[in-house]
């Protein structure tokens, strides 16, 4: 186990609703990245938070937003859910040491939009 925990593990939402996913990073890690993984595809980078500030964003619309808290845990919020938002959402935390370290991924939250 990596020490990165995500909640909930599964949830089902209706199109148009809003959802909040949570990630508790590994102790000492101040950087959290979020990824979306559609079935059969590799994870796609959504955005990254470093010390509570957004630090880079992938090709996702503004209805995908996030927060990072002083304890470095993080939330991913998705508004106006669409059917194509159904995916596994992964968070990864990383140590502030830079290039010579690894990122630790959580088990993911499986979101189904109906």
Partner 1 sequence: DAKTTQPNSMESNEEEPVHLPCNHSTISGTDYIHWYRQLPSQGPEYVIHGLTSNVNNRMASLAIAEDRKSSTLILHRATLRDAAVYYCILTKGTYKYIFGTGTRLKVLA
The residue within the footprint of partner 1, chosen from 25, 74, 108, 113 (CB under 8 A), is 108
In angstroms, give the least distance from the CB of 43 to partner 1. 5
In angstroms, give the least distance from the CB of 7 to partner 1. 14
102 counts as binding partner 1 under rule CB under 8 A: yes
For the chain, state the CA radius of gyration.
13
Residues in 2-31 that interact with partner 1 by CB under 8 A: 2, 4, 31
41 counts as binding partner 1 under rule CB under 8 A: yes
CA 93, CA 25: separation in Å to the nearest integer? 5
The residue within the footprint of partner 1, chosen from 72, 106, 111, 113 (CB under 8 A), is 106
How many residues contact partner 1, by CB under 8 A? 26
CA 88, CA 6: separation in Å to the nearest integer? 11
CA 82, CA 113: separation in Å to the nearest integer? 7
DSSP 16: T
* Residue count (the chain): 114
Residues in 44-83 that interact with partner 1 by CB under 8 A: 44-45, 48, 56, 58
CA 38, CA 1: separation in Å to the nearest integer? 23
Q: Which stretch binds partner 1 (CB under 8 A): 13-21, 60-68, 74-82, 99-107?
A: 99-107
């Amino acid at each position: 186990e990596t020490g990165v925990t995500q909640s909930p593990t599964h949830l089902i939402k209706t199109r148009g609703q809003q959802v909040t996913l949570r990630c508790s990073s590994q102790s000492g890690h101040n950087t959290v990245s979020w990824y979306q993984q559609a079935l059969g595809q590799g994870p796609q980078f959504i955005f990254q938070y470093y010390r509570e500030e957004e630090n880079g964003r992938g090709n996702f619309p503004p209805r995908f937003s996030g927060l990072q808290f002083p304890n470095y845990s993080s939330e991913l919020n998705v508004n106006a859910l669409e059917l194509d938002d159904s995916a596994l959402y992964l968070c990864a935390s990383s140590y502030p040491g830079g290039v010579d370290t690894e990122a630790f991924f959580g088990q993911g939250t499986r979101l189904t939009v109906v």
